[in-house]
Chain A
Amino acid sequence: MAAAKFEAEMQAFQALQREFTKVVQSRTQLESQLKENEMVSKEFDLLKDDATVYKLIGPVLVKQDRAEATTNVKKRIEFITSEIKRLEKQINEMEEKQEKKRSEMMQMQQALQAQRQQA
């Protein structure tokens, strides 16, 4: 009875861990996107005023308005930063949850062992 419950807890814990890895992965991905956008933004700042900016749309390069491209990248950076913040919060929450589950499971395991010894 208690063993079955422990098994269920174990599975719940593993599900938590899997979800945790997924969230951490998306944060890593977002961080590299942020880096790339920051590099582009820096590059735009260094441009001469008469420089032409293109954007790759499918297989063709399309001329872009420079001011528009700059604000576009800035906006993207803002968006990604807020996404990272959101994920970071989620990661913290999940860490707490995992820790709680872990100690719960430790207690259950100890109880289970005590029971076995009595039997």
Chain B
Amino acid sequence: MAQNTQIDPLTAPLQQLQMYQQRLQEDIETLTTSYASLRTVQAKYNDCLDSLKVITSENRGKTVLVPLTNSLYVPGELSDVESVIVDVGTGYFVDKPIPDAKDYYKRKVDYIQTNLNGLQGTITEERKKLTDISELIALRVEMQRKQAAETKK
């Protein structure tokens, strides 16, 4: 993360400002990538929630197609509508009643949402910093150009 050092915007070496600008750009890039991957994970959890909605007692005994791979399905019968097995991470799975499983996924989605909100705030802040520094650099370049023209006269 780019650190904030107190510098005089009009006398600091241009090179230093450009380095700061570049670092900000890199930071923003990393942050937006994380934002996107969090979004993907959140969508996955939401998919799980949607899938759970179908496992109801009315659907007991109905035929379902079970995916063995992405493209291979076998017919199966929905026999257990009481509980599901949930992946809780690091290779551990837990047998959960449907309401608990829904609760679990809702918690995950909410947790990611708070992270997303925080991240969004940081990204906005960093973007603002980047605009500021870019403007400053443009101003400094302009100043330099004028100065060079003056000395030529």
Contact = CB atoms under 8 A, between A and B. Distances in A.
Q: Do A and B come from one complex?
A: yes
Interface of A: 36-37, 39-40, 43-44, 47-48, 51-57, 61, 64, 69, 73, 76
Nearest to A39: B89
A55 B91 contact: yes
A42 to B, nearest CB: 9
Interface residues of B, number: 13
B47 interface: no
Dominant secondary structure at the A interface: mixed
Choose among A44, A54, A56 the residue with the greatest number of B CB atoms under 10 Å from its CB: A54
B96 A54 contact: no
A94 B31 CA distance: 26
Interface in B65-107: 85, 87-96, 100, 104
26 contacts: A36-B90, A37-B89, A37-B90, A39-B88, A40-B90, A43-B94, A43-B104, A44-B88, A48-B100, A51-B94, A51-B95, A52-B95, A53-B94, A53-B95, A54-B85, A54-B95, A55-B91, A55-B93, A56-B87, A56-B92, A61-B85, A61-B93, A69-B92, A73-B90, A73-B92, A76-B90
Contacts of B89: 36-37, 39-40, 43
